Amino acid sequence: MTSQEGSAISTATAANAPATEQDAFIEAIAARLASFLDSKESMLAGISADSLVLLDAIRTLVTGGKRMRALLCYWGWRGAGGDAQSPSIVAAGAALELFQAAALIHDDIIDRSDTRRGGPSVHMQFSRLHGERGWALDPERFGHAAAILTGDLCLSFSEELFADIGPAAASGTRAREVFNLMRAEVMAGQYLDILEEVSGPGKPNSTAVERAAAIIRYKSAKYSSEHPLVLGGALAGADNALLAGYSAFALPLGEAFQLRDDVLGVFGDPAQTGKPAGDDLREGKRTVLVGLTLTAAGDGDAAFVHSHLGRQDLTGDDIARIRAIIVGSGALDRTEDMIGELGGTAFSALDRLPIGSDIVAALSELGNAAVQRKS
């Protein structure tokens, strides 16, 4: 099934029961997060009222967003026969949202990203607080330190919510195994990403795509789509065959999602992405898009890209030239082809899943939104 066919299915069916059910789940996630964070307010206030700003930063970050991981977890649960009204799947979705918040906070520090969803990133919020209060020492160092602690607090809260599920998430269960693996893989994948930024220029261009693909898989694809979907199924008691089918759909979907993110990181409209134009270039991201460029571009163009990636002082002209090199090398077209191929693989696997047509429709809608998004 192609992505166009997937769109046709979602158009025909997702506006009915699945959409209503999905909306109810999103509302339940928001309510669970709000009540959970409210319950932590007195605890933090008992330590010191000064620490409540950590909670405020978390509240802001988990309010809104696409809820993609939580929704994939939900439909994995429903596809395995889980009850739509169960508080267990709401707790799992809320735990994923808090884990995602932690990953975003830490990622923005690592990438030196000052914006998130069109506003200041968490470390920038704390740096500004330092300036507004006229505190001593370095505002940037304070901002980074406070944001790291906020991210760590998100990780702690995520674990607490997941443990609240009870026996289905206990040690030794498949769900606990997936949850633990997801968290470890993200950290390892993030390390591979920063390692590539510093060691990539000294490695052969011919292996740049392969290296970037490994980073995509472990830093993003598995935790963005595969693990959430499998986690939902595991919590509902799905058998190994269904969980393998979930992986066959969600892993290529996650890879396509990240490739789309990489394209938006270079060519996206800041008004839609909430990030400055060419932000990935300033951050020095050695993505598949960049790897394809380095492999196919001439020596002079490849050297220019190598020497300018990761420079914070990139000018508009620099960004325009790198974009032109990417387009001229055929890397952008090849990346779009890869997104299409991975999407086709994902949707073909979705068509083979032994789940209800309404759940297929919901997953198809999520899949198309992931690979066709503009922000």
- Please, are residues 97 and 64 in contact by the beta-carbon 8 Å criterion? no
Number of domains in the chain: 1
The kind and range of the H/E element at 119 are strand 119-120
* Greatest Cα-to-Cα distance within the chain, rounded to the nearest angstrom: 62
Q: In whole numbers, what is the pLDDT of the chain averaged over residues? A: 93
The kind and range of the H/E element at 261 are helix 240-267
pLDDT-based confidence at residue 264 (cuts at 50, 70, 90):
very high
Q: What percent of the chain has pLDDT over 70?
A: 95
From residue 314, how far is each of 60, 126, 153, 318 by CA, in Å?
A: 31, 26, 34, 6
- Please, are residues 99 and 73 in contact by the beta-carbon 8 Å criterion? no
Q: What percent of the chain has pLDDT over 90?
A: 85
Residues 6+ apart with CB under 8 A from 90: 25, 28, 29, 32
pLDDT-based confidence at residue 168 (cuts at 50, 70, 90):
very high
pLDDT of residue 344: 97
Reference 150, options 132, 124, 131; nearest CA is 124
Does residue 19 carry a pLDDT above 90? no
pLDDT of residue 157: 98
Does residue 266 carry a pLDDT above 80? yes
pLDDT digits (tens, 9 = 90+) for 190-212: 999 999 999 988 899 899 999 99
Residues 234-240, mean pLDDT to the nearest whole number: 98
- Please, are residues 350 and 1 in contact by the beta-carbon 8 Å criterion? yes
Can you give 5-64 as a three-state secondary structure string?
HHHHHHHHHCCCHHHHHHHHHHHHHHHHHHHHHHHHHHHHHHHCHHHHHHHHHHHHHHCC
Q: Tokens for 188?
A: 């390892």
- The Cα–Cα gap between 193 and 112 comes to 14
pLDDT of residue 64: 82
DSSP helix/strand/coil, 375: coil
User: Which phi and psi (to 5°) does residue 114 adopt?
Assistant: -90, -10
Q: For the chain, how big is the Rg over CA atoms in Å?
A: 21
- Please, are residues 262 and 279 in contact by the beta-carbon 8 Å criterion? no
Does residue 217 carry a pLDDT above 50? yes
Residues 47-74, mean pLDDT to the nearest whole number: 96
pLDDT of residue 13: 38
Domain that holds residue 319: 3-372
Task: State the DSSP string of 84-117.
Answer: TT-HHHHHHHHHHHHHHHHHHHHHHHHHT--EET
- The Cα–Cα gap between 266 and 285 comes to 10
Residues 138-144, mean pLDDT to the nearest whole number: 98
pLDDT-based confidence at residue 276 (cuts at 50, 70, 90):
confident
pLDDT of residue 170: 97
Does residue 375 carry a pLDDT above 80? no
pLDDT digits (tens, 9 = 90+) for 99-113: 999 999 999 999 999
CATH of the domain at 186: 1.10.600.10
Least confident of 36-50, 268-282, 330-344: 268-282
Reference 84, options 140, 20, 37; nearest CA is 20
- Please, are residues 227 and 181 in contact by the beta-carbon 8 Å criterion? yes
Does residue 15 carry a pLDDT above 70? no
pTM of the predicted model over 0.95 = no
pLDDT of residue 8: 34
pLDDT of residue 231: 98
Long-range pairs for 316-320 at CB < 8 Å and ≥24 separation? 316/277, 318/281, 319/277, 319/278, 319/281
